[in-house]
Chain A
Amino acid sequence: MEKHELMEKVKVKCQDSIVRVEEMPNDDVLIEIRKEEILFVMDILKNDPELKFSISNHLGVDNEDNYAVIYNLYSYPFKHKITVKACLDHEHPEIDSVESIFKGMNWFERETYDLLGITFIGHSNLKRLLLPPDWEGHPLRKDYIHPDFYDQIDNRRPDLCD
């Protein structure tokens, strides 16, 4: 199946949930969806006999005026790639967790929560994954300020140019 055929098929199956569909470099297809519809779209992508996607990667991005979550999917039987993107508002970044559909997303979503502070509704164990539990802030946010101290350890560096 060609890239365009896949794009048409996804458009027909997901209908109103899709904001835009476009080609991406590296034989990829980008679909941007409305964030309320993420579970509906993921369910179709996984269970439709003509698509049969599995998930391979997930990340979050701070775009300064909004946040985005991105999921990279790959279909083992049909060898298609698809990238699903949803934009979240900057004040309260929240989206439904896809853990109920793809179990392996548990840790990926925890990492995004840890580093970007995006809340995944319905996640079974939404705790910090990489950073210590008492860490303040989310380092991959663009407005993150590196703390001078953590646990009474001085993180400041002397300015060697002075």
Chain B
Amino acid sequence: MAELVSQEMFLNMGPHHPSTHGVLRLIVQTDGEIMRRAIPDIGYLHRGIEKIAERVPYQGFMPYTDRIDYVSAFSGNLGYALTVERLAGIEVPEKAEYLRVIAAELARLGSHFIGVGAVLLDLGAVTPFVHALRERETYNDLMEMLCGARLTHNYARIGGVSHDVPEGFKEKTLRFIDHLEHEFIDEFNNLISFNSILVKRFANVGVVSAEMAIEYTLVGPNLRGSGVPFDLRRDDPYSIYDRFDFEIPVGKGKFGTVGDCYDRYWVRIQEIRESCRIIRQALQQMPEKGAIRTKIPKVFKPPKGEMYVRTECPRGEMGFYLISDGGKNPYRLKIRTGSFSAMSILEELSQGVMVADLVAIIGSFDIVAPEIDR
């Protein structure tokens, strides 16, 4: 009998693979079912947003920030608006601050629904995605009430927000939060999170230690999943986040090792609850009447200078490094996103794991491809 020949294979995963969350290609080097490594090849969704920023006026760039991370469009709006406001020294009215917090936390909810739903879809569980998407539909409706758009909101303005609260928004949001806190999360956990198949797929897979997470500049839920209790909303507060009482969930190795896929997933589930708490407090504290926007001149020119502002987005820290030369367009705008760092860790993390686990690892980082490429 002839001897069996074994050799390593190079396989393409993507650019149109259903579980790569957008257009993303992985060059996978395998030895049977064991992966030697997976090399990410990105750039398929590079739209040159940073170059566009140098060509359009400050106010005109706002809609582009929706497209950085379209799953939670408002987070990009908020980060950019804050950066320009801090550079130009613009004060935002009290009511607008509350509206921003409410919209940002709604965006976090909407994004985490996709985050936890899509990872399960990748693993082959179709039902949970439908459950999560049903809730996202309510989030879309709420944002539509607030600003008229369902996906790319373009809700923030430099100096405030674009629309005031419509009639019935408050009640509908409260009903939504009640539903999430008392029904949805428990139901989702009983149905899916504690499902033993899911636990077996997630626990002890793709373990990222706290040191490695910091070394590779992981941020947000991925960093907290590795047990680092760091959240910009608490540790470097922006807007009015210091007025709210909320917990910061961290990975504790619920079913396995600290920093495995399950921890990252579980942090997101817990963050849904915390966001609900923040929205409830914001709705209670929000003044009934008041201005929602500070007037800025039509030809808006912030002073010369540079600064780096970070905000806590659903995918972690989104940082805007803005350099102004005193003109009406930004001189240079660098956008630092969470998915970019999460993707750069993949090559090291994928060494020696099963091919099937790669999908779980990518999913657990909650990557959105346009955010990697910008």
Expressed in whole angstroms, the minimum distance between the Cβ of B241 and any Cβ of chain A is 15
Q: Are B319 and A130 in contact (CB under 8 A)?
A: no
Separation of A62 and B325 alpha carbons in the complex (Å): 12
User: Which of A35-43, A100-108, A150-158 is near enough to bind chain B?
Assistant: A100-108
Q: Are A115 and B50 in contact (CB under 8 A)?
A: yes
Which residues in B have their C-beta under 8 angstroms from that of A55?
A: 217
Which residues in B have their C-beta under 8 angstroms from that of A26?
A: 86, 307-309
Q: Which of B43, B87, B334 has the most CB of A within 10 A?
A: B334
Q: Counting CB contacts under 8 A, is B310 at the interface?
A: yes
Which residues in B have their C-beta under 8 angstroms from that of A59?
A: 321, 332, 334, 336
Q: Counting CB contacts under 8 A, is B317 at the interface?
A: yes
Instruction: Select B216's contact among A25, A104, A130, beta carbons within 8 Å.
Output: A104
Q: A26-B307, A26-B308, A28-B308 are in contact. Are A56 and B236 (CB under 8 A)?
A: no
Q: Counting CB contacts under 8 A, is A70 at the interface?
A: yes
Q: Are B46 and A76 in contact (CB under 8 A)?
A: no
Which residues in A have their C-beta under 8 angstroms from that of B310?
A: 56
Q: Are A25 and B307 in contact (CB under 8 A)?
A: yes
Residue-wise interface mask of B (282-310) relative to A, using a CB-CB cutoff of 8 A (1 in contact, 0 not):
00000000000000000000000111111
Interface size class of B (residues with CB under 8 A): 35 or more
> What would 25 A/B residue contacts be, using CB atoms closer than 8 Å?
A24-B307, A25-B87, A28-B307, A56-B217, A56-B336, A57-B308, A59-B334, A59-B336, A61-B323, A62-B332, A70-B321, A79-B236, A83-B308, A102-B217, A104-B217, A104-B345, A107-B340, A107-B341, A107-B344, A129-B42, A130-B373, A131-B46, A139-B48, A140-B50, A140-B51
Expressed in whole angstroms, the minimum distance between the Cβ of B327 and any Cβ of chain A is 13
Which residues in B have their C-beta under 8 angstroms from that of A83?
A: 308
Expressed in whole angstroms, the minimum distance between the Cβ of B143 and any Cβ of chain A is 29
Q: Which residue of B lies closest to A101 (CB)?
A: B215
Expressed in whole angstroms, the minimum distance between the Cβ of B131 and any Cβ of chain A is 35
Q: Counting CB contacts under 8 A, is B214 at the interface?
A: yes
Residue-wise interface mask of B (32-46) relative to A, using a CB-CB cutoff of 8 A (1 in contact, 0 not):
000000000011001
Separation of A25 and B308 alpha carbons in the complex (Å): 8
Which residues in B have their C-beta under 8 angstroms from that of A25?
A: 86-87, 305, 307
Separation of A55 and B308 alpha carbons in the complex (Å): 13
Q: Counting CB contacts under 8 A, is A72 at the interface?
A: yes
- Listed from nearest, the 7 A-B pairs whose CB atoms lie closest are A59-B334, A104-B217, A130-B43, A107-B344, A104-B216, A130-B46, A57-B336
Separation of A26 and B373 alpha carbons in the complex (Å): 27
Q: Which residue of B lies closest to A72 (CB)?
A: B308
> Could you list 8 further interchain pairs (A-B, Cβ under 8 angstroms) beyond the known A72-B308, A76-B228?
A24-B306, A54-B214, A54-B217, A61-B331, A76-B230, A103-B216, A104-B344, A131-B46
Q: Counting CB contacts under 8 A, is A132 at the interface?
A: yes
Which residues in A have their C-beta under 8 angstroms from that of B46?
A: 130-131
Q: Are B43 and A132 in contact (CB under 8 A)?
A: yes
Q: Counting CB contacts under 8 A, is B171 at the interface?
A: no
Q: Counting CB contacts under 8 A, is B235 at the interface?
A: yes
Q: Are B215 and A104 in contact (CB under 8 A)?
A: yes
Separation of A51 and B367 alpha carbons in the complex (Å): 32
Which residues in B have their C-beta under 8 angstroms from that of A56?
A: 217, 219, 310, 317, 319, 336
Q: Which residue of A lies closest to B50 (CB)?
A: A140
Q: Are A130 and B42 in contact (CB under 8 A)?
A: yes
Expressed in whole angstroms, the minimum distance between the Cβ of B363 and any Cβ of chain A is 20
Separation of A80 and B86 alpha carbons in the complex (Å): 19
Separation of A129 and B372 alpha carbons in the complex (Å): 11
Q: Are B317 and A103 in contact (CB under 8 A)?
A: no
Which residues in B have their C-beta under 8 angstroms from that of A76?
A: 214, 228, 230
Which residues in B have their C-beta under 8 angstroms from that of A129?
A: 42-43
Interface residues of A in 50-98 (CB under 8 A from B): 54-57, 59, 61-62, 70, 72, 76, 79, 81, 83
Which residues in B have their C-beta under 8 angstroms from that of A107?
A: 340-341, 343-344
Which residues in B have their C-beta under 8 angstroms from that of A139?
A: 48, 51
Interface residues of B in 316-330 (CB under 8 A from A): 317, 319, 321, 323
